[in-house]
Structure 1
């Protein structure tokens, strides 16, 4: 193809990428999004839209939290230590640390999410906002081990323990190891995992009933092995390129990490990377979500290509749409047509449903003051109200959260749930309390025992 025609074709396909990302930002109410397409010869296209949490336009140097993409960095560090003979994948945790309360999986099981920790185990120790020395150790000491060793269960707990092992093997804080052994050698000069660097991080955003609202929690150094790493589009491009080619990360390490090891919930998992087979073509990828940010790194090793997307919004309801973006961009570059995916309909509806339940509870609470039914009916109403309260109380656990975590990750659903719990509890109490009745004269209200009158 003549050079001019090739340039025109590239311009057309990247225009389609930009149109898709415009729609992607609109679909998910993203205040700011940046993205890049990387080819065999380097970055082919960059995109920037919107503003950060401080109101400044986003660009290639805007800081974002990269969430679970940090797991791939921890896995890389572990593999570097393995290549130096500092540890072996067959080593058990107890060979390196003695403060894991329960379980003794191998390092390989931690890297492949088959160590017996559950998603709930990881959520329970996340978002501690612990920035004092020893934060990772303290988080590990509070871990529960409630799953089955050998069964795949995606959880941050695995990489938290790996962070503690890195600290034990190197004798240095994880943050220092990450910066000296990975970020600095790669030239990722705008990336960090410290509370001090987080002072420059603009607020992210969470969705409240589908609309973005600013969110600026403290930094959490206890989460650096699995989520709390700050980076920029330019640096993530550098990282994705290093995971494709070059000597900064050896080819042996890349190949070991990026081949499928175990079946996962969606496809397969390697060592710190998800691995998908798409008609014989290997797609290596990882998403990263924190309350306020979402990142996706997608690698196509056989084509030496990658797509990276960083956004400053996250919602559990919007997760399917956000997570589809990088692959959609890759398919558009490859000549296909794509439109942004929709949000999860159940999670999207949950805040509205819970708000409706709360309003119904309010109506029952008010109705209980007038008692328009006989005593038997009031007892039934109180019993039904208590059943609803118990069901609402158990609801977060059914989706793998406790109420604290739900307030962080799905605040609209959490506060609707809290309101519903309070109002239905008031209704239950109201139906059981002695009733108010009108006095015989003067229209006054007096409190009398059930079943009596004045």
Structure 2
């Protein structure tokens, strides 16, 4: 893959120069070389066809790393478009806080104060922003990836929502931000994508970012993984998912957005303060309004990852240093998620003087598609074996029960990972088709084992039919 490195780019090239950032010491000489080495290893370990990354400091862009090609085979540049996934949630939170600042909503108002088509539950806007509204991960997955670009897409998605969780209990889910998108549409009287463009993207100078199907026409295909290999994936845009995931951007534009979230007046300081503080605090989760909030080496870290089928992104802010790290890739799988997520934090640690290596992928998810393929092959083998099975009724019934048990486990497996089969086909395509094949083959094997003994032999080894002699009539014997 072609490698292109650009360092020392000025703040003007990122499109936004804000108020003075905190005075901090810059990275030690040679650290950006280590960043490049890390990103090369990161791309190779995760089989990424293309990657774009930037380090933004108090005075603007300090370093860029552009590597590989997009889904059309063109070199990755700072203006290549990627889907940015759940980073869109922080944009929705910013839009909501703008409306709150204008007096058009209050965070403690309920959903029913603005829309009347949420099927169940009536959380507050604050609960939606902090993922404590009572929607579950499964509720969000069931309403996501609709690829609906017709007028009213967000409303239709909201109308399909289930509300199966516990209010005031943290559960990260896209359902919350889907409902927020519907509230924004209700207040403004405009499609959410139009509001996002006119009230945030355009004022920030993010002219190459898109929030609707027409504007996203130039998005290059991403890549999903089939048995460990990246395969080109050209997804449809999904305007019903714009409030939480369906936004495209470039390294330049997302760098502009990260800078605006650190300093300046483009996003008012009071909005940044409210969205970037931790409203949900527990031993496992710290979440602001559209941002994950944590602490590393005594410094607050504000960040969010984003994943779409075929793309991964990460915006990582260190407000005390006025520094941000942006990563965009054109490939994604759930198995590679832990490694991809660790990248931005690892880069910041390298800049702080640490030595880091890319994290490992999830071993279970990496093996899952191969395991399901092997299970499907076993189902095929048992179906064939049934042709020569023992004749005993007890053994036939035991084999049938065992096959049905395996089929039931396969049927229930997606739910164990929090997916339905439709979502599994989108996010883990190889595993989904291996699971479908396995389910069909194991149920087929159960039916074949249930057939009475000898049935297959009669079907496949039917004795040849003997021709009967012509009847001997009395006339033919000369007796008449």
Match of 1:126 among 144, 149, 166: 144
Distance 2:385 2:93 in 1: 58
Distance 2:292 2:363 in 1: 25
Q: Provide Cα deviations, 1:145-203, integer angstroms capped at 9, x if missing partner.
A: 00000000000000000000000111111011000000011000100111012210010
Identify the residue that residue 402 of structure 2 maps to in structure 1: 384
Match status 1:252 vs 2:275 = no
Match status 1:116 vs 2:116 = no
8 Å Cα contact 1:152-1:264 kept in structure 2? no
Describe the shift of the 1:268–1:370 C-alpha distance in structure 2 as closer, same or farther (beyond 3 A): same
Match of 2:33 among 8, 12, 15: 15
Describe the shift of the 1:439–1:360 C-alpha distance in structure 2 as closer, same or farther (beyond 3 A): closer
Identify the residue that residue 274 of structure 1 maps to in structure 2: 292
Aligned length: 439
Equivalent position SS for 2:185:
helix
Match status 1:52 vs 2:70 = yes
8 Å Cα contact 1:31-1:52 kept in structure 2? yes
8 Å Cα contact 1:370-1:435 kept in structure 2? no
Q: Provide Cα deviations, 1:10-50, integer angstroms capped at 9, x if missing partner.
A: 55111110110000000100000000001111110000000
Q: Give the superposition deviation at 1:9.
A: 7.0
Distance 2:64 2:412 in 1: 45
What residue ranges of structure 1 are gaps of 5+ in the alignment? 1-6, 447-454
Distance 1:397 1:254 in 2: 37
Identify the residue that residue 221 of structure 2 maps to in structure 1: 203
Distance 2:307 2:213 in 1: 18
Q: Give the superposition deviation at 1:264.
A: 5.9
Q: Give the superposition deviation at 1:412.
A: 1.2
Equivalent position SS for 2:265:
coil
Equivalent position SS for 2:314:
strand
Q: Provide Cα deviations, 1:228-253, integer angstroms capped at 9, x if missing partner.
A: 00100000000000000000001100
Match status 1:362 vs 2:380 = yes
Describe the shift of the 1:82–1:206 C-alpha distance in structure 2 as closer, same or farther (beyond 3 A): same
8 Å Cα contact 2:377-2:438 kept in structure 1? yes
Distance 1:117 1:215 in 2: 30
Match status 1:411 vs 2:441 = no
State which structure, 1 or 2, has the greater radius of gyration over its C-alpha atoms. 2
Match of 1:232 among 243, 246, 250: 250
Identify the residue that residue 178 of structure 2 maps to in structure 1: 160
Q: Give the superposition deviation at 1:279.
A: 3.5
Q: Give the superposition deviation at 1:436.
A: 3.5
Match of 1:432 among 450, 465, 475: 450
Identify the residue that residue 366 of structure 2 maps to in structure 1: 348
Q: Give the superposition deviation at 1:439.
A: 7.5
Match status 1:371 vs 2:414 = no
Distance 2:404 2:463 in 1: 27
Q: Give the superposition deviation at 1:285.
A: 0.3
Distance 1:12 1:102 in 2: 56
Q: Give the superposition deviation at 1:263.
A: 2.8
8 Å Cα contact 1:369-1:435 kept in structure 2? no
Identify the residue that residue 315 of structure 1 maps to in structure 2: 333
Identify the residue that residue 3 of structure 1 maps to in structure 2: none
Q: Provide Cα deviations, 1:322-378, integer angstroms capped at 9, x if missing partner.
A: 000000111111111111011101111111111111111111111112223521001
TM-score (norm 2): 0.89
8 Å Cα contact 2:317-2:323 kept in structure 1? yes
Q: Provide Cα deviations, 1:103-152, integer angstroms capped at 9, x if missing partner.
A: 00000000000000001101101111100011000000010000000000
Match of 2:356 among 330, 335, 338: 338
Distance 2:100 2:60 in 1: 29
Equivalent position SS for 2:193:
helix
8 Å Cα contact 2:302-2:317 kept in structure 1? yes
8 Å Cα contact 2:27-2:351 kept in structure 1? no
Identify the residue that residue 398 of structure 1 maps to in structure 2: 416
What residue ranges of structure 2 are gaps of 5+ in the alignment? 1-24, 465-480
Distance 1:53 1:214 in 2: 6
Distance 1:85 1:390 in 2: 54
Distance 1:407 1:283 in 2: 34
Equivalent position SS for 1:189:
coil
> Cα RMSD over matched residues?
1.8
Identify the residue that residue 11 of structure 2 maps to in structure 1: none
Distance 2:421 2:138 in 1: 12
Match status 1:283 vs 2:283 = no
Q: Provide Cα deviations, 1:293-347, integer angstroms capped at 9, x if missing partner.
A: 0000000011110101000001000000000000011111111111101110111
8 Å Cα contact 2:27-2:352 kept in structure 1? no
Describe the shift of the 1:11–1:61 C-alpha distance in structure 2 as closer, same or farther (beyond 3 A): farther
8 Å Cα contact 2:382-2:445 kept in structure 1? yes
Distance 1:439 1:200 in 2: 59
